[in-house]
Amino acid sequence: MSEQTMPAAVVSEFGGPEEVALAEVPVPRPAAGQLRVRVAAAGLNPVDGAVRAGVFGGAGQRLGLGWELAGEIDEVGAGVTGWKTGDRVVGLHHGTVKPLGTHAQYAVLDATAVAAAPTTVDAVAAAGLPLGGLTAARAVDLLGLAPGSSVLITGAAGVVGGLAVQLAARAGLVVTALAGEGDEELVRSLGAADFVPRGGAPAGPVDGVLDAAVLGAAALGFVRDGGVYVGLIPNHAPAAERGIRVEEQEVAADGPHLARLVALVDAGVLNLRVAETFPLAEVAKAHAHLGTPGVRGRIILTV
């Protein structure tokens, strides 16, 4: 019997969107503790562009792309309980240098990395939840601020920033959103109490900053003495000063935490935004769109 193959988005040479190609690769099989998911939709993230550009290394290898997905379990690995073929799931495929990701017809994930898919949104919307949702939720948790505390969220109109605005407001924090001048209505609809246009400053020092826009030291300057700064990219946080606690979140595949986010989606309190969809066959075109200024919402590949 011939080996089954599938299309998958890969990069063999680092560079721009033109370096992303579809390759026919063997259909993966789940090992013990893993699940194989037939992908319905998968999110395209800035980290995929960074992998494509060689930021994380891996020269000389064929690298797979894609971190998040929504789909249906196709095969269950040995020792896995609680899941069966046909279950609809969302999940996070963690890793920057890997032979296959979620931008493929099938993906293999650890059983602990998935959660039951939302029932109130379709697979296209759900596919944009795992990476952005877990990143935002981890960052809000790291703030460690009590209800009523003030927080500035930079990049508040982006995918992660927008989710962070919603989660922080739900946690009782008083959110000031920093975003583009045309984004005030959007971020206020997500739960921001105050708005600062890009290049501006909040009215006074805040208890904490969640720096989704990676402003670094500029964002740290808005924090009161003894406050907290949370960055989203490891090794990019500014040096601590004035007693400010500086944290860097690092996202991890976490099925139970993802399930809690799914519950918020189904309860109607967490809004998922899709900017545009592309079929997997047009993945290079989707990568070109990824760098377009003003994209508001996740770009989704449909499989």
State how beta strands 106-110 and 20-26 pair. unpaired
pLDDT more than 90, % of the chain: 93
Give the span between the Cα atoms of 161 and 136, in whole angstroms: 7
pLDDT of res. 2: 61
DSSP 111: G
CA atoms of 79 and 285, how far apart (whole Å)? 40
How many angstroms separate the CA atoms of 245 and 298, rounded? 31
CA distance 222 to 151: 10
Contact 178, 150 (CB under 8 A): no
pLDDT in tens, 90-146: 999 999 999 999 999 999 999 999 999 999 999 999 999 999 999 999 999 999 999
Which regions of the chain are under pLDDT 50? 1
The rounded mean pLDDT for the chain is 96
Residue 234's pLDDT is 83
Asked if CATH classification 3.90.180.10 holds for the domain at 5-129+272-302, the reply, yes or no, is yes
CA–CA distance, 206 with 195 (Å, rounded to integer): 13
Rounded Cα distance, 114 and 259, in Å: 8
Q: Where are the domains of the chain?
A: 5-129+272-302, 132-248
In the chain, the amino acid numbered 216 is: G
Query: CATH code for 132-248?
Result: 3.40.50.720
Q: CB of 110 within 8 A of CB of 253?
A: yes
